[in-house]
Amino acid sequence: METRIALIGIIVESKDEIENLNNILHEYGEYIIGRMGIPYSQKDINVISIVIDADNNTISSLSGKLGMLEGISVKTLYSKSMTNK
């Protein structure tokens, strides 16, 4: 299977969706290489970055599910090269 590395940037503006966000990330845990969360208390938001190694469909599916959550903004950056996993 061909995979690529992607960086998913997430801004959490609604704490009501944090449990749903974590449940979705748990579903895709086998693909996640790393996760970094930064609370920004002055603005009452959280910034999360996820590095994932998966096929295009999996990356798109994860990004789409996260983006449908209320108060969650998501952008995905894909690497140019694909590798066999």
User: Could you report the per-residue pLDDT of 11-67, keeping only the tens digit for each?
Assistant: 999 889 999 999 999 999 999 999 999 999 999 999 999 999 999 999 999 999 999
| Closest C-alpha to 18, from 51, 66, 61, 80 | 66
**DSSP-derived 3-state class of residue 85:** coil
Q: Is the pTM of this model over 0.85?
A: yes
Q: How many helices (H) and strands (E) does the chain have?
A: 2, 5
Residue 71: CA count within 13 A, CB half-sphere: 13
